[in-house]
Structure 1
Amino acid sequence: MSDVETIERLRHIGWRGDNLPVDGLRLARVVAQHRAGYELHDGHALFGAQPDGRFLRRGIDPAERPVVGDFVEVADGTPPHIVTVGERRSILSRAAAGERYERQLIATNIDYVLVLTGLDGDFNPARIERYLLLTEGSGAQPVVLLSKLDKCEDAALKIAALRERLPQGTPIHAINCKDPASTQELARYLQPGDSAVLVGSSGAGKSTLTNTLFGTATMATAAVRSHDSRGRHTTTHRALLQLPSGGCLIDTPGMRELKLTGEEQLDLFADIEALAEQCRFADCGHGSEPGCAVQMALDTGELSAERWRNYLKLHDEREEQAATLEARLRRQRGGRPIEAPRGHRSKRERE
């Protein structure tokens, strides 16, 4: 097969480059990761592979290891093994659960992050804002999907309230995950060569939506609990699927904890930060100080109290994570100071 044919084949699984590996290596994309190894796809067939020994070294940054969505160079053998990880055009990540700071990559080389939330008891604008904040700087565009439209009588009110909280231009689609006609408008994000990752809490309908987009019962599904609309983890690992539309979809397990990495820029709340700059005093704590633009916006209803509280919560968490990240990088650099991520005043400074 010629290089032109190989590159065209790789285009169908999201490859954007023009050059192929040399020295007998071949290019493939990570489709899934298991304890026993990786599943890869070269645009023609699915096959298993093992990571090169250097990816298994103790102390290696987990972000350097292959993850779902990566394009990797593979050396043939029994079994084939991953030699290098290609440059990533986009990275969606979060801080791993636990006290030790560690960045966990969710998916790479994606064009869209599809944030799925139910319009039932799962509906939580603050959680949606957290997802969008994690998407900032990833290189991918966020798209908000509101599922269970068929089970919600006040969908229009919820959608209108959400549009007021999110930045103008953020795509929002209300859908019935079981209805192919309802999900047709998502085709624009899943065109040939496009890659999207589907995220959301358990029970939101990720596997149901995946099945509808795929046209078959590819992913297992389960009922949600009636008292809180939450579900069991029917998706147990991240997996990249090729859809009939030609796009690639990465389905993920429901994430109960969405810790910020400390690298977010809070662009989602640019309006609030712009308000803070209009305060009379540069060190305004946004409490009872005279001339506080934030408090005036809260009093007039221009800024909702709920969104303000969520901003403070996310800002403080970002600052704490940024400080942890800075300390970690400083240790790695032998104690030399590094530039701290930009941001508002810390919680301690406000108090």
Structure 2
Amino acid sequence: MTIVQYGWNETWMNKWNELHQSLENKTFVPGRIVGDFGSKYRVMTETGETWGELAGRLRHTLTDSGDYPAIGDWVSLAMMDGGEHAVIHGVLPRQSVISRKVAGNTNEEQIVASNVDTLFLVSALNDDFNVRRMERYLIMAWNSGANPVILLTKADLCDDAESKIAEMERAAPGVAVYAVSALLGDGRDKLLPYIGSGQTVALTGSSGCGKSTLVNWLSGATLQLTQDVREGDSRGRHTTTHRELFILPDGGIIVDTPGMRELQLWEDEGGLDLAFGDISSLAADCRFSDCRHEREEGCAVLAAVSNGALEEKRLLNYRKTQKELLYQSSKEVKQKRKTAAAATKAAPSRSRNSGWRRELEEY
């Protein structure tokens, strides 16, 4: 295996040269994180796969959880002991970042995967099927910078797959929706444009929706463990426990991630308006520019609900998610102010890239 097979190309070479142009007589090499196991990483380098861990000085420059290396990142490595292991001294700027808020009350960002071209949003065509939940996943996808594609798995368990596809398409205007069955081998040809040579795709969805089965099906090998669905509620059992990256026979790169029992959105960078594009378009015709689409006179969104052009449940989910994102944004602002105040007292501030560059220069 070579790093070219893992997506290394001219674009990444240019980013590498920009980050390292001021360094002289250094022996750093590029690598991509292909496995995230917490304190250690599996990294693919020019000479093969090895274990990697953060340099101490780099670790002290990382103030936010979202700054830490993640699956899919390209990193600067110092090879040790003849390549037996490596030390990570920097992370190249990301072209896309799929993230969410960590579960619970902690206000921290969790990177699901980075440098992904296409994000497969997976939902099974059994009791796992949930349009409202998919709307939330779409916000995360649009915010990430990756191209979202919806995969409805376990089509062999569904007698009305076409109606479910139509329902999902109404909730995701402009997003490709495919029903697939790994058991019957149906639908793989539709996914070929997304898994070609050098392209990185990631899978995300609720626990037990069939992501690991998809990885095995697309790869033609048993790369991930799977378990049968539970008889009681038709849901699959949670299998994947860490993030890992695999090469597919068609040349693509695929990232499997642990299932999400809940999706708490981290921030909004336009994803809400893209995921609810129909509501945003209708809102342009509201009488008042600050219309909240609740009881206002002349609201085009409420008029669409009244005449059946817009599903009321979709509007309710839009309102709920909008309020959640506003609340999350207010918490982020407070946290950033608190962190900035503490940093000002402790030491002069410095940018993320300057911190990495200083770490590289001091090595």
Q: TM-score range by the shorter chain?
A: 0.7 to 0.9
Which stretch shifts more, 244-253 or 217-226? 217-226
CA contact (8 A) 1:90 1:110 kept: yes
* Separation in 1, partners of 2:177, 2:215: 18
| Residue from 171, 179, 189 that aligns with 1:174 | 179
CA contact (8 A) 2:62 2:68 kept: no
Q: Aligned letter for 2:36?
A: Q
Q: Aligned letter for 1:96?
A: V
Measured after TM superposition, the shift of residue 95 of structure 1 is: 0.8
CA contact (8 A) 2:156 2:183 kept: no
Does structure 1 residue 152 correspond to structure 2 residue 158?
yes
SS in 1 for 2:110: strand
| Residue from 189, 194, 200 that aligns with 1:189 | 194
Count of residue correspondences: 327
Higher relative contact order (CA closer than 8 Å, sequence separation 6+): 2
Measured after TM superposition, the shift of residue 44 of structure 1 is: 5.0
In structure 1, list runs of 5 or more residues that go unmatched.
1-5, 336-351
Give identity over the alignment, percent: 38
**2:222 matched residue in structure 1:** 217
SS in 2 for 1:208: helix
1:174 to 1:50, Cα distance in 2 relative to 1, 3 A: same
Measured after TM superposition, the shift of residue 155 of structure 1 is: 0.8
* Separation in 1, partners of 2:98, 2:281: 27
**1:331 matched residue in structure 2:** 338
* Separation in 2, partners of 1:259, 1:156: 30
Does structure 1 residue 232 correspond to structure 2 residue 227?
no
Q: Aligned letter for 1:165?
A: A
SS in 2 for 1:137: helix
Q: Whose helix proportion is higher, 1 or 2? A: 2
**1:310 matched residue in structure 2:** 317
Give the alignment of 1:281-320 within 5 angstroms: 281-320=288-327
Give the alignment of 1:1-351 within 5 angstroms: 9-16=2-9, 17-19=12-14, 23-35=26-38, 37-42=40-45, 44-57=47-60, 60-78=63-81, 79-168=85-174, 170-265=175-270, 266=272, 267-334=274-341
SS in 2 for 1:241: strand
Measured after TM superposition, the shift of residue 53 of structure 1 is: 1.0
CA contact (8 A) 2:35 2:244 kept: yes
Q: Aligned letter for 2:6?
A: I
* Separation in 2, partners of 1:15, 1:226: 44
1:291 to 1:80, Cα distance in 2 relative to 1, 3 A: closer
CA contact (8 A) 1:203 1:223 kept: no
For each residue in 1:128-166, what CA deviation from the matched residue of structure 2 results, as whole angstroms up to 9, or x when unmatched? 111110011312100100011111001111111111121
* Separation in 2, partners of 1:33, 1:111: 19
1:238 to 1:271, Cα distance in 2 relative to 1, 3 A: same
Moved over 6 A (4+): none
* Separation in 2, partners of 1:228, 1:306: 24
Which stretch shifts more, 194-203 or 274-283? 274-283
Q: Aligned letter for 2:114?
A: T
Which stretch shifts more, 68-77 or 228-237? 228-237
Q: TM-score, normalised by structure 2?
A: 0.84
CA contact (8 A) 2:58 2:90 kept: no
Measured after TM superposition, the shift of residue 59 of structure 1 is: 7.0
Measured after TM superposition, the shift of residue 116 of structure 1 is: 0.8
CA RMSD across the alignment:
2.1
Which stretch shifts more, 220-229 or 304-313? 220-229
**1:343 matched residue in structure 2:** none
**2:346 matched residue in structure 1:** none
Measured after TM superposition, the shift of residue 57 of structure 1 is: 3.6
